[in-house]
Amino acid sequence: MEPRSQQLMASMLRPLEPVPTGYPVRLQSLSVRALVFDLYGTLFVSAAGDVGVDAATDNVLSLMRAGRDAGIPSLDGAAVAGEGISLLHQRIEQIHLRCKEAGISYPEVDIVAVWFWVLERLGISGVREEQVRLLALSYECRINPIWPMPGLSTVLGELRDRSVVLGILSNAQFYTLELFEYLLHAPPERCGFSPDLCLWSFCEGEAKPSAHLFTRLSARLGQAGIAPTEVLYIGNDMLKDIWPARQVGWRTGLFAGDRRSLRLREDDPRVRGVQPDIVLSELAQILTCI
């Protein structure tokens, strides 16, 4: 991780507390060998409840300040920053449409490539990749700051001690990994997560609730001798997490610990009648269920 990235995260990220939901907790003992987690809104408190520009309210001032952080002074103006935000959404929509026409139902973008396109359209040239990465990181931290859920490190330590196989399946961008390492002082693999069992949407070119992501990870778990019924997937979104996990035969846990990120999707017919095996309000409750 670049020192400048660490400096930016240190200057912008502060502890966030989850907002209680009051949603009924439902716990039971489950016989599982592997735990797979969503990240935003589950392992981490997310001010916007999800990842990326689609999950937060854009802010012209945030982009102006992100431009300063990245050493791109041409963004330091309300008019150009406002146009930049419009172009950002325009490009994401273009990529999504093109990918859907190619048969990808839930496309994911490469946010670095998107920001390069935006800067080019704004007539800003000569920008290095490390500057664009700083721009994307700073902008995300400003519009969607995150912080570890209470008790996360303790829970992960206990799961490692119990030799539970750990994975992550999450919508993400490159900065997700940098944020993870900064906030937990170690990359995912040093926190007990198997690298082969971590699927990030920006690496796969698809986002949840894509069935391909869950099928892909389920196959990897199968290669490790772990059956679908021995996998518990925990996430905060009934559509993006619980529904597709059920489709591949995994056990499921709805994390209902933060009002900002709990997504029940009650009006979506795909989740009608779908029930998670357990409902959690705190991560530590996992330890009583496995």
Q: Say if residue 137's pLDDT is above 80.
A: yes
Domain ranges of the chain: 3-51+145-288, 57-143
Spatial neighbors of 109 by CB under 8 A, at least 6 apart, are 91, 92, 95, 96, 202
Q: Say if residue 245's pLDDT is above 80.
A: yes
Lowest-confidence segment of 22-31, 56-65, 119-128 by average pLDDT: 56-65
Over the stretch 140-192, which tens digit does the pLDDT of each residue have?
999 999 999 999 999 999 999 999 999 999 999 999 999 999 999 999 999 99
Over the stretch 82-133, which tens digit does the pLDDT of each residue have?
999 999 999 999 999 999 999 999 999 999 999 999 999 999 999 999 999 9
**Predicted local confidence at residue 51, as pLDDT:** 65
Band (pLDDT 50/70/90 cuts) for residue 56 is: low
Q: Say if residue 55's pLDDT is above 60.
A: no
**Predicted local confidence at residue 52, as pLDDT:** 61
**Predicted local confidence at residue 47, as pLDDT:** 85
CA angle 111, 115, 120 (to 5 degrees): 150
- Across 23-48, average pLDDT: 96
* Whether the Cβ atoms of residue 31 and residue 163 lie closer than 8 Å to each other: no
Mean pLDDT of the chain: 95
Q: Say if residue 290's pLDDT is above 70.
A: yes
**Predicted local confidence at residue 57, as pLDDT:** 62
Helix runs in the chain, H state only: 3-12, 60-69, 78-101, 111-121, 129-143, 152-161, 174-184, 201-204, 211-223, 243-247
* Whether the Cβ atoms of residue 150 and residue 21 lie closer than 8 Å to each other: no
Beta bridge partners of 170: 200
Q: Read off the pTM.
A: 0.94
Q: Classify domain 3-51+145-288 at the CATH superfamily level.
A: HAD superfamily/HAD-like (3.40.50.1000)
- Across 242-258, average pLDDT: 98
**Predicted local confidence at residue 5, as pLDDT:** 96
**Extended beta strands in 42-164, E state:** 44-46, 146-148
**Predicted local confidence at residue 28, as pLDDT:** 97
Share of the chain above pLDDT 90, in %: 94
- Across 29-56, average pLDDT: 85
Looking at residue 106, the DSSP 8-state letter turns out to be S
Q: Say if residue 53's pLDDT is above 60.
A: no
**Predicted local confidence at residue 48, as pLDDT:** 81
